[in-house]
Amino acid sequence: MLRVVGEPRRIDRAIKRLQGALKGVPARSVRLTWRGGELRATIHWARDDSFWWAIESRRANDGNAARHALLLGHAPDPPTRRESITCEINLPCAGADRRVAGIVVADDSGALYLAHSGRMGGARPGQRKSGFRDFLDDGVWRQVTWPDSKTSEALIVAPLASPRLTRLLGQFVDSVRRFKAGESSRAHLNLCVEPMQGDSTMTACDRRLVDAALHEELAKRGLFGGAHDLFSLKGERPQPLFALVTDGRADELALAVGSLSLASARSGPDIRPILIAPAALADGDAALNALPFACVRFRWRGARAVFDGLDDALEG
């Protein structure tokens, strides 16, 4: 169960964790603009994840409570002297405020997460503020409980203790950019069996990173068509079907293996089942090598998942 954090001390701890964990090349006195306003600030460019960030503390005024503002901008190239804000996640300095989109939540173990209500301002004409929920329906959406016992759904942006915090935040910024630009959401290609419902929140966040990295690798190999269609879904090759094991729990592994076995029995030679498992698990479990289908190992290189044996598994 995830609960909204309202204690000033814990919110301050979350902000300090963000500032300490997020990396980036500083750019000072940058003019930041958005619809109806601007300010000058020092921003930090996370080059590998194509965004910049800054945290500003704002005093109470005009009926608004004091808050921390996490400013974020899409930036595949180095920032200039003037940058546009892609989105802003406001977090109250104290208490729980459903009027702002930013939320700090904690799980039963006390681990903290940065979350977002899903209401997205600054959208294009005709877009609803709630339209971001539909656009990012494959995001990690969870029920959160407020101090008054009311519940609502929130998007979990990132676990604050995750070593992949910067990559997850960059993924969020890119999703907001695409939403506000009117781009279509990423197509569901049904290449992966559904994850189990009992995934922990942290595991679900990592699963999205592994899934995105796998999609990129398959696109590089022409799996989805294009000029170099190496592995055509419509050709003679069977369609690959993946099951992702993210943290190696026994129940997660059993579900993945069972799902692939059932799919293989139903579809026969029309599909090629492939298990994606952490290298630390696969390397130490001889039983995985005895499976009747391929097992591709993934390992983290920094915050990116890389896959060992993917080409061999696709080619059969």
E strands of the chain, at which residues? 2-4, 25-34, 37-46, 51-58, 67-74, 82-84, 87-92, 102-106, 112-116, 141-145, 151-159, 239-244, 271-278, 294-301, 304-308
SS3 content of the chain, % helix, strand, coil (to 5): 30, 30, 40
Cα angle 62-67-71, degrees, rounded to a multiple of 5: 110
The pLDDT of residue 123: 58
CA-wise closest residue to 88 among 41, 125, 136, 128: 41
Domain boundaries, the chain: 2-180, 201-315
Based on its alpha-carbon atoms, the radius of gyration of the chain, rounded to whole angstroms, reads 21
| Token pair for 199 | 């995934």
Across the 316 residues of the chain, what is the mean pLDDT of every consecutive 10-residue run? Answer: 93 92 93 85 95 88 78 96 94 88 94 94 63 90 94 96 96 94 72 68 92 88 61 63 85 87 86 90 75 91 93 84
Nearest-angstrom CA–CA distance, 15 and 217: 34
The pLDDT of residue 233: 47
Total Cβ atoms within 10 A of residue 263: 17
- Identify whether the C-beta of residue 84 lies closer than 8 Å to the C-beta of residue 33: yes
pTM reported for the whole predicted model: 0.88
300 contact partners, CB below 8 Å, separation of at least 6: 163, 164, 306
- Identify whether the C-beta of residue 166 lies closer than 8 Å to the C-beta of residue 158: no
Give me the helix-helix angle, 8-21 and 165-180, nearest 10°. 90
